[in-house]
Amino acid sequence: MANIVIIGPGAVGLSVGAALIDAGHQVVFAARQAFAQLKVANAGEMAPRRRATVVTTPHALAPVDWVLLCVKAHQVEGATAWLNATVGPQTRVAILQNGVEHRERVTPVVPVGTVLVPVVVDVPAARSEPGVAEWRGRAGLLTADTPEGQAFCALFAGSFVTARPTPDYVSENWKKLCVNAPGGAILALTGQTMQVFHQPGIAEIARAILSECVAVGRAEGAELPDDLIEAQMARFMAAAPDDTNSMYDDRAAGRETEWDARNAVIVRKGRLHGLPTPVSDLIVPLLAAQKVGVPG
Ligand SMILES: NC(=O)C1=CN([C@@H]2O[C@H](COP(=O)(O)OP(=O)(O)OC[C@H]3O[C@@H](n4cnc5c(N)ncnc54)[C@H](OP(=O)(O)O)[C@@H]3O)[C@@H](O)[C@H]2O)C=CC1
Ligand SMILES: CC(C)(CO)C(=O)C(=O)O
């Protein structure tokens, strides 16, 4: 049994937290708002009763075996007090986020030498209220095939989450960005669900963002096959019309979106490699200009 603190009890944090409780670990949720019960289930299924241990102040915490950082990419700095309270010399910090800059984001806010475990998250999920989340159909996590990646995956043995190390983490991480960069931006900018991909011109924009992501990912060392673009486009076109994603959910609620981690990153890293990213250049300022506090 491991002692685990989950910072950020949102859609992903609650889902993986429920799995870790099922796997027999001591799980504490570090939250801004208290909740007593955890109601987490696969869509359409009854949530089993799980008691939640929740703390709302970092002073109530001490260093643990594992910290799972599940806040949004732009919320990492805001989680510093929680990290200060929970990370000791033996603590490993798993970063469950989208984007490809997990280490760059978290290294400045943890003690030098802290073991970081970036995680590719394939858990489509939404949180409806504190303590309540629904995941949709699959719950997969990927880490690098390192001793700490393996140790992280072992935490989920016997739970509904499938966690596994991959020999090519960089490529898997960029493949996930190839889903998130076009999907998140288009839904956040249009305020529409996945049916928008069938509107005139939208698929072309998605394909262009995807092509830029593939080119930059390859320059960063990811092995991305030639057929990835059309295979991903086919998945977008076949998505259920009312399907959404977390950028859509954030925009719909008037929250800040992860445009920097999912789209500006393509521009940033493209520049480093001298690669043109004209469509991302255009959409990033539009995403950045979306008004926080105004549901869209
Ligand atoms: N949702 C999804 O389907 C998927 C999401 N991801 C990625 O996983 C990561 C997490 O996403 P998701 O779970 O959807 O995000 P959510 O917005 O649902 O959850 C983030 C949580 O972090 C909390 N939080 C933010 N700042 C702090 C803080 N300073 N102290 C304590 N808690 C804090 C928020 O609290 P509060 O409610 O108080 O704001 C919220 O509960 C993102 O990088 C996302 O892109 C990856 C795959 C799928
Ligand atoms: C569920 C999925 C894959 C949709 O793009 C996602 O990562 C997100 O919503 O953030």
pLDDT tens-place string over residues 73-130: 999 999 999 999 999 999 999 999 999 999 999 999 999 999 999 999 999 999 999 9
Q: What is the pLDDT of residue 49?
A: 86
Pocket lined around ligand 2, Cβ cut-off 6 Å:
98, 124, 179-180, 183, 245-246
CB of 72 sitting under 6 A from ligand 1: yes
The residue whose CB lies within 8 Å of the most ligand 1 atoms, and thus the one to mutate among 6, 12, 120, 258, is 12
Q: How confident is residue 277, by pLDDT bands cut at 50, 70 and 90?
A: very high
Q: Which domains does the chain have, with CATH numbers?
A: 3-166 (3.40.50.720), 169-288 (1.10.1040.10)
Determine which residue's CA is closest to atom 16 belonging to ligand 1: 10
Contact partners, residue 44, CB within 8 Å, separation at least 6: none
CB of 97 sitting under 6 A from ligand 1: yes
Contact partners, residue 270, CB within 8 Å, separation at least 6: 212, 215, 216, 219, 276, 277, 280
Query: 140-145: which pairs have CB atoms within 8 A and are 24 or more residues apart?
Result: 140/164, 141/16, 141/96, 142/166, 142/169, 142/172, 143/94, 143/117, 143/118, 143/119, 143/169, 144/117, 144/118, 144/169, 145/169
- What is the CA(45)–ligand 2 centre distance, in A? 21
The 10s digit of each residue's pLDDT in 22-41 is: 999 999 999 999 999 999 99
The 10s digit of each residue's pLDDT in 210-225 is: 999 999 999 999 999 9
Does position 173 have pLDDT exceeding 90, yes or no?
yes
What is the overall mean pLDDT for the chain?
A: 97
Our answer to whether residue 176 is catalytic in this structure is: yes
The residue whose CB lies within 8 Å of the most ligand 1 atoms, and thus the one to mutate among 57, 122, 246, is 246
CB of 73 sitting under 6 A from ligand 1: yes
Q: How confident is residue 295, by pLDDT bands cut at 50, 70 and 90?
A: confident
Q: Are strands 26-30 and 3-7 parallel, antiparallel or unpaired?
A: parallel
Q: What is the pLDDT of residue 296?
A: 80
**Mean pLDDT across the stretch 233-250?**
97
pTM above 0.90, yes or no: yes
CB of 75 sitting under 6 A from ligand 1: yes
Q: What is the pLDDT of residue 218?
A: 98
**Mean pLDDT across the stretch 4-31?**
98
Q: Which residue among the candidates 175, 176, 269, 291 is catalytic per the annotation? A: 176
